[in-house]
Amino acid sequence: MKSTVTLGIIGSAVVLIALFELLRRQRLREKYAVIWFFVALGVLAVAIFPGLLSGLADLVGVELPVNLLFFLASLFLLVLTLQHSYELGRLEEKTRTLAEEVGLLRLELDIQRREIEPDETKPD
């Protein structure tokens, strides 16, 4: 009993400190920090008040509270990974658009340069 409490507190403390540090160094956007902040709070709550978990397990009819914990944890990770894949796809589309624009801008520059250069040599 005792060890689960300390483990839970250590775990959530590590997450919270890491969060704070990443935010301080501007390496983490707030929208992701919020998710992890609530995860850390949840872990902390369950560690300090184990009754929360067993109560919830009783409520939904899961015999072993720890199974509920694992189920929720893996579901959460799955959704989060999916969310990351989604963000990745969006970013790829954005960088693709930027790459196309960069190529087109260089081409426009080439065209402009070609139009200007003959004029500069003519006055002589």
Partner 1 sequence: MPPRVLVIVPAWNEQDSLAATIKDVRTTNPDVDLLVVDDGSRDRTAQVAAENGALVCRLPYNLGVGGAMRAGYRFAIRHGYDVAVQIDADGQHDPAYLPSLLERLDVENGGADLVIGARFAGEGDPYRVSLLRRLAMTLLARTLSRMARTRLTDVTSGFRVANRRAIGVFAAHYPAEYLGDTVESMVIAIRAGCTVTQVPVQMRVRQGGQASQTPLKAALYLARAVVALALALVRRWPDIPPPEFEQEDAS
Q: By CB under 8 A, name the binding residues for partner 1.
A: 96, 99-100, 102-104, 106-107, 110-111
The nearest distance, CB 91 to partner 1, in angstroms, is: 13
Closest CA to 35 of 13, 14, 15: 15
The nearest distance, CB 81 to partner 1, in angstroms, is: 21
C-alpha dihedral, 54 to 57 to 63 to 64, nearest 10°: -50
- Give whole-number Cα distances, 105 to 36, 74, 87, 90, 98, in Å: 40, 46, 27, 23, 10
The nearest distance, CB 102 to partner 1, in angstroms, is: 5
d(CA 100, CA 106): 10
- Closest to partner 1 by CB, 14 or 109: 109
64's tokens = 């072993």
- Closest to partner 1 by CB, 66 or 105: 105
- Closest to partner 1 by CB, 77 or 98: 98
The nearest distance, CB 96 to partner 1, in angstroms, is: 5
- Closest to partner 1 by CB, 27 or 113: 113
35's tokens = 């998710």
